[in-house]
Amino acid sequence: MAKYNLICLFILSLLHPLHSKTDSFIYAGCSQIKYTQGSTYESNLDSLLTSLVNSATYSSYNKYSISGSTQQDVINGIYQCRGDLAMPDCATCVARAVTQLAPLCSQTCGGAIQLEGCFVKYDNTSFIGVEDKSVVMKKCAPSVGYDPAVMGRRDAVLASLGSAGGLYRVGGSADVEGVAQCVGDLSNGKCQDCVSEAIGQLKNECGGAVFGDMFLAKCYARYSTSGAHAYARSHHGEHDEAEKTFAIIVGLLAGVALIIIFLTFMRKAFARNGK
pLDDT value for 107: 94
Cα 106 from chain centre: 18
What CA–CA distance (Å, rounded) separates 142 from 123?
35
pLDDT value for 267: 59
DSSP string, 108-166: BS-EEEEESSEEEEEESS--TT-----EEEEEEPPP----HHHHHHHHHHHHHHHHH-S
Torsion sign, CA atoms 39, 42, 48, 51? negative
Domain with CATH 3.30.430.20 in the chain: 2-128, 135-225
- pTM of the full structure: 0.77
pLDDT value for 38: 93
- Would you state the CATH architecture of domain 135-225? 2-Layer Sandwich (3.30)
| CATH number for the domain running over 2-128 | 3.30.430.20
pLDDT tens for the chain, 275 residues: list them: 333 343 444 444 333 333 347 789 999 999 999 999 999 999 999 999 999 999 999 999 999 999 988 888 999 999 999 999 999 999 999 999 999 998 999 999 999 999 999 999 999 999 999 999 999 999 998 876 778 898 999 999 999 999 998 999 999 988 899 999 999 999 999 999 999 999 999 999 998 899 999 999 999 999 999 766 666 443 333 444 444 444 444 444 444 444 544 455 555 555 555 55
